[in-house]
Structure 1
Amino acid sequence: MAAQNVLILTSNTGGGHRSAASALENSLVRVSSGHVFVKTTQVLEEAHYLSRKAADFYNFLLRDHQDLMQYYFHAVNQFRPNESRLMFKSAMGYAERVFEKIRPDILVSVHPMTQHFFAYALRRMGLQDQIPLLTVVTDPYHGFWNGWACDDVRRYYVASEFSRQQLIDFDVPAQKIQVVGMPVHSKFQPVTDLEKRLIRSQLGLEADRFTLFLNAGWIGGGNVFRIYEALVSGCATESLPIQVLFLAGQNKQLQQSAQQIAESASFPVKVVGYTTEIESLMNASDIMVSKMGGLTTFEALSCRLPIIADAVTQPMPQELQTASFLASTGAALMLSDPGQIVSVIKSLLETPGRYQALREAAGLHGKPGASDQIARDVLRYIQEPLFMEQPVLA
């Protein structure tokens, strides 16, 4: 069988979309037994100077001004730059080069700012009836970008009934929407207690000490550093039997600052920069402190890792809904003030039953297999065009 060409559309605005692309690429190669060629393209960064600057601005806000992200969200929803005909025409040369080089049999978007442009490109090149456009929504609950909704998308894959209903509210036909779960990479799996202790030892940590994973994300920003400072300061007078993994992502300055504070901490601290092995950090930990990005959250849940959600500043609407839902089901705790972190951790240490309940609830939400299911469908769409026309049954 000749190799099939799949083009995944994404952007490095935050780490979640790239994680979804990586999960799907892994699944497509495994499910097809290598009979598929997968190319992931960073659309905003590669398409045009203006779209690249827009991606840079998003990451700047995410890293340094998380309190402004809600306003950015509302501005994008209001002005819809992802549907700009001027931008489409300016970036057509990029689309033509991509199609000439890759010759895709199918397009899979994992980013809300990509599918409108590629739908336009398909129409301009007369390929809209030959190359299906699918979308994997990486926001698990309602309140997300209206840019996810695009008339030319043949099939949507969503994480929950909440996200399905949000698309319906955006006038996407229900028969196009399939609920499969979040596309989490197969490497995110729970480990045994023995394996957890071994991973800690390999990271240079104590094998049997309660471990917090402070996750500043791929871009290295948000309020996690403030929470870290409060933890170190609070434990100067309130000694806790803990240790910390601090992930600074691609923010070198943050990594240096975290390392400086680690030198005065009353507990062991391991500071890590950018890594492709975040599953090891999760599986070494007992709880994660993080903003509630969709993919990162569900990667943690797939590892049975409960979460303390960064709600110090108002999250973007879709992240707020994720945090609120998981808190209501007992899989996460909400942290609205950095100074609360010491009392929260102390409470979990003093009441092991409460921590165990958090962990068990986290395990209920981490459902693997969605990425493989999407991959199987993608291959069927390529090989059996009529399969695309079958409506999704509610």
Structure 2
Amino acid sequence: MRKKVLILSEAFGNGHTKAAEALAQVISLQEPSVQIHIIEIGKMLHPAINDLVLRIYKQSITTFSFLWKKIYDHLSKPNHTTPNWLQSLIYQLLHRNLDKVLKQINPDIVICTHPFSSSSLSRLKRRGYRVRLCTVITDFHVHQVWAQPEVDIYMASNEEVLRQLVLFGISEQKIVVTGIPVKSDFWQKLNKLEARKSLHLKNLPTVLVMGGGLGLGGIKDIADALIKWKDDIQFIICTGSNQALKTSLENNVRFRHPHIVILGYVNIIHQLLDAADVLITKPGGLTCFEALTKGIPMLIYGPIPGHEEYNCEHLVGRDLAIQIRNKHDVDNWIEKLLLFPEAFKGLYENIKQFQQKNDPLAGAKVVLDLLAR
């Protein structure tokens, strides 16, 4: 009988689901007989509430960012555990009837790429539901909602996350450092000239600007800072699902230039990274891991309070990325790209060391080992 794997994500941004899709792809490459289901579970079970939670989240990280940061920092204290009321609230709002989905699919393993789904599965396990549960950490930092004793195996993005989980009381025997799953399109970097030709781009120094699937991260500020360089470089702006931002940029005469490309949500990020010399992005976990896997230098801007600030701290602290805070920083690094490209040498060397330690098959190996037990 074919083994069944159910991967649960949430529709809050795109990174968690992209990680789920990447893990599913790599499992299938290693063992095609495994039957895999991917569900954005909150959106499927309670779409109206899911959309409300997403709107509240976006409002919190923009209008009330100071409050969101306080909440996140509190949840990150290792001497705290997830309160039962919070787990119950997550379950009642987003995951009521989750048990019916599980009974219908009857998976051999459930994998969660978001702390909410992991929390609710853990709650069900405490109440008697029997299933092997694997949780994939999709950032370079964890908070207490990730840390659930009912999880059988954790896939940690790095050694620091492993240590943090241990501080939250998770046994080190349950944790495997696998990195964040990325699709095979990101495993190798293609020739820049060929990549630019295939995308009908100019063969110029190229900067890719991204703000994640939600199109956040101060993209407009970055675009305004880059506009003075439009005759010297080519820049590609990806606005994600932020259609209002895309329309605003397209309607602005300053951005109507043959060296400026404005895109919405696209599925060709791997090709754009092949064509780019530098990525300017907010530090979403999956986006940064994709860029590191491709070997692209990153300039990080506008981290969301909480997890992305910790992601930024991790990457910058290990010289895997550079943080830019204002227009002057943008000008400084674009000038270096054009006149002193050797300024990026240290980044390239550190990224290469990262790549040598990273095994893109590691996550699939963990799942297949668990299925074989």
Matched, 1:156 2:154: yes
- Tell me, yes or no, if the aligned pair for 1:212 and 1:244 is still in contact at 8 Å: yes
> 1:310, CA displacement in angstroms?
0.5
Letter in 2 for 1:137: I
Give the 3 Å change call, closer, same or farther, for CA 91–251 of structure 1 in structure 2.
closer
- Tell me, yes or no, if the aligned pair for 2:208 and 2:280 is still in contact at 8 Å: yes
Q: Which residue of 2 aligns with 1:53?
A: 52
Give the 3 Å change call, closer, same or farther, for CA 150–82 of structure 1 in structure 2.
farther
Equivalent position SS for 2:145: helix
Matched, 1:35 2:33: yes
Deviations for 1:139-197, whole angstroms, at most 9, x for unmatched residues?
A: 22x4x3211100100111112111111111111122211122222222103424xx321
Q: Which residue of 1 aligns with 2:114?
A: 111
Give, in whole Å, the separation in 2 of the partners of 1:301 and 1:92: 34
Give the 3 Å change call, closer, same or farther, for CA 35–345 of structure 1 in structure 2.
same
Give the 3 Å change call, closer, same or farther, for CA 371–18 of structure 1 in structure 2.
farther
Give, in whole Å, the separation in 2 of the partners of 1:197 and 1:162: 37
Identify the range of structure 1 (256-265 vs 330-339) with the bigger mean alpha-carbon deviation.
256-265
Equivalent position SS for 1:205: coil
Give, in whole Å, the separation in 1 of the partners of 2:17 and 2:95: 23
Matched, 1:351 2:337: no
Give, in whole Å, the separation in 1 of the partners of 2:278 and 2:64: 22
Q: Which residue of 2 aligns with 1:196?
A: 192
- Tell me, yes or no, if the aligned pair for 2:10 and 2:16 is still in contact at 8 Å: yes
Q: Which residue of 1 aligns with 2:223?
A: 228
- Tell me, yes or no, if the aligned pair for 1:66 and 1:222 is still in contact at 8 Å: no
Identify the range of structure 1 (35-44 vs 284-293) with the bigger mean alpha-carbon deviation.
35-44
Matches within 5 A, 1:217-256: 217-232=212-227, 234-235=228-229, 241-256=232-247
Give the 3 Å change call, closer, same or farther, for CA 254–368 of structure 1 in structure 2.
farther
Letter in 1 for 2:221: R
Q: Which residue of 2 aligns with 1:296?
A: 287
- Tell me, yes or no, if the aligned pair for 2:138 and 2:285 is still in contact at 8 Å: yes
Q: Which residue of 2 aligns with 1:170?
A: 168
Identify the range of structure 1 (320-329 vs 210-219) with the bigger mean alpha-carbon deviation.
320-329
Count of residues in Structure 1 that have an aligned counterpart in Structure 2 = 367
Give, in whole Å, the separation in 1 of the partners of 2:243 and 2:70: 27
TM-score (norm 2): 0.88
> 1:288, CA displacement in angstroms?
0.5
- Tell me, yes or no, if the aligned pair for 1:246 and 1:258 is still in contact at 8 Å: no
Give, in whole Å, the separation in 2 of the partners of 1:16 and 1:350: 34
Equivalent position SS for 1:178: strand
Task: State the Cα RMSD in Å.
Answer: 2.7
Percent of residue pairs bearing the same amino acid type: 25
Counterpart of 1:337 (choices 326, 341, 355) is: 326
Give, in whole Å, the separation in 1 of the partners of 2:93 and 2:13: 25
Counterpart of 1:147 (choices 129, 145, 148) is: 145
Deviations for 1:257-301, whole angstroms, at most 9, x for unmatched residues?
A: 222346546661111111122111111100000111111101001
Q: Which residue of 1 aligns with 2:371?
A: 382
- Tell me, yes or no, if the aligned pair for 2:279 and 2:297 is still in contact at 8 Å: yes
Identify the range of structure 1 (44-53 vs 340-349) with the bigger mean alpha-carbon deviation.
44-53
Matched, 1:5 2:4: yes
- Tell me, yes or no, if the aligned pair for 1:215 and 1:246 is still in contact at 8 Å: yes
Runs of at least 5 residues in structure 1 that lack an aligned partner in the other structure? 385-394
- Tell me, yes or no, if the aligned pair for 2:126 and 2:150 is still in contact at 8 Å: no
Q: Which residue of 1 aligns with 2:129?
A: 127
Equivalent position SS for 2:240: coil
Matches within 5 A, 1:292-331: 292-311=283-302, 315-331=304-320
- Tell me, yes or no, if the aligned pair for 1:4 and 1:36 is still in contact at 8 Å: yes
Give the 3 Å change call, closer, same or farther, for CA 54–92 of structure 1 in structure 2.
closer
Letter in 1 for 2:132: P
Give, in whole Å, the separation in 2 of the partners of 1:25 and 1:369: 18
Give, in whole Å, the separation in 2 of the partners of 1:267 and 1:222: 25
> 1:86, CA displacement in angstroms?
5.0
> 1:26, CA displacement in angstroms?
0.2
Counterpart of 1:212 (choices 201, 204, 207) is: 207
